[in-house]
């Protein structure tokens, strides 16, 4: 039995929030909410994501309503997490969790996975009987955590003399299942190249590039390289550059939103041509991010022909 004075405004309490790792996953319908378990006298433990990926940060929120009949004691007030609530089923792999921060009513907190009892301590100010104390603690799952690992979470409230006065042991555990992160979204770019002859007695061609992002992600760092015929001598463009050694035109595009199309036009000049000379050009996606999963639409070509030495037909 605890001794206490009802007129006293300062009380001491602790909470025990026990992480248990195991292979058993409880059915989701056994819990009031997929991310919450509860106990007596307003005890509640919630996590914002029950299927975190390695490297992901998850935040635990817990609360308890102080009861004068059970919680009075002297000392500091704290929530604690780790071993000590159910020693018959001790936690494992606690080192896979790393404390990032505490908030709400916590004034300070610490997490030492190797401490073997109450690995997490979160201190809160003293409160009056009947008040509800709350706290949050954010942890990052280790980047090397194994997908499929299950973290089974128990919660409790402990008076400072070591008595557990409220716990979630009678309820299903709050299970966190480490889940493989989803593959990064791809951006499928489709390239279209068209050509139009510039006019009579003028040996140049206007090339029109259209690059469509079929998604699902936005694309960045895009470069389209057009291979011109060997008879090309130069180009005119405000965005593209020309290499005379390879007869290639490089056109950078900073970004293309999902579902959007970006168009680029440049003019290619040719010297005196041989009648009947085919003038084939091919545009190809040579760089983009993220990965383009469909190479089939990454290139497109167009054909022109020298009708006379100074006349091109496309």
In this chain, the answer to whether the domains covering 14-177 and 187-313 adopt an identical fold is yes
pLDDT digits (tens, 9 = 90+) for 31-70: 333 578 777 777 788 889 988 999 999 998 888 887 654 4
pLDDT in tens, 6-27: 222 233 333 334 333 332 223 2
Least confident of 39-53, 117-131, 239-253, 293-307: 117-131
Quickly state the pLDDT bin for 85 (edges 50, 70, 90): low
Contact 181, 48 (CB under 8 A): no
Extents of the domains making up the chain: 14-177, 187-313
Residue 184 confidence (pLDDT): 83
- Does 124 score more than 60 pLDDT? yes
Q: What angle do CA 69, 71, 75 make, to 5 degrees?
A: 140
Strands 232-236 and 97-104 come out as unpaired
Q: What is the pairing mode between strands 97-104 and 132-141?
A: antiparallel
Domain 14-177, second-level architecture: Sandwich (2.60)
Q: Which two tokens mark 264?
A: 């680029």
**Residue 213, helix vs strand vs coil:** strand
Q: Which CATH number fits domain 187-313: 2.40.160.60, 1.10.357.10, 3.50.50.60, 2.60.40.1510?
A: 2.60.40.1510
- pTM of model > 0.85: no
């Amino acid at each position: 039995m605890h001794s206490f004075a009802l007129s006293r405004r300062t009380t001491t309490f602790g909470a025990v929030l026990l992480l248990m790792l195991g292979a058993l996953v409880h059915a989701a319908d056994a819990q009031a909410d997929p991310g919450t378990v509860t106990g007596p006298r307003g005890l509640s433990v919630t996590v914002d994501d029950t299927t975190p990926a390695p490297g992901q940060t998850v935040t635990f929120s817990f609360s308890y309503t102080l009861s004068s009949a059970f919680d009075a004691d002297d000392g500091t007030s704290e929530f604690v997490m780790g071993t000590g609530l159910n020693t018959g089923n001790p936690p494992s792999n606690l080192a896979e969790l790393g404390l990032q921060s505490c908030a709400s009513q916590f004034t300070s907190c610490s997490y030492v996975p190797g401490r073997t009892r109450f690995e997490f301590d979160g201190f809160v100010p003293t409160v009056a009987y009947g008040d509800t104390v709350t706290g949050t603690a954010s942890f990052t799952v280790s980047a090397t955590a194994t997908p499929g690992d299950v973290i089974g979470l128990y919660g409790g409230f402990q008076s400072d003399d070591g008595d557990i006065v409220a716990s979630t042991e009678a309820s299903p555990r709050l299970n966190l299942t480490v889940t493989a992160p989803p593959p990064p979204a791809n951006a499928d770019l489709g390239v279209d190249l068209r050509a139009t002859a510039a006019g009579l007695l003028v040996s140049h061609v206007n090339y029109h590039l259209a690059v469509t992002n079929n998604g699902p992600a936005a694309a960045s760092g895009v470069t389209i390289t057009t291979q011109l015929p060997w008879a090309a001598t130069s180009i005119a463009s405000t965005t593209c550059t020309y290499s005379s050694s390879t007869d290639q035109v490089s056109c950078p595009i900073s970004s293309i939103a999902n579902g959007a199309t970006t168009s680029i036009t440049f003019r290619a000049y040719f010297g005196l041509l041989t009648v009947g000379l085919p003038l084939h050009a091919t545009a190809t996606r040579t760089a983009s991010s993220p990965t383009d999963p469909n190479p089939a639409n990454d290139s497109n070509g167009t054909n022109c022909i020298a009708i006379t030495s100074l006349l091109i037909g496309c």
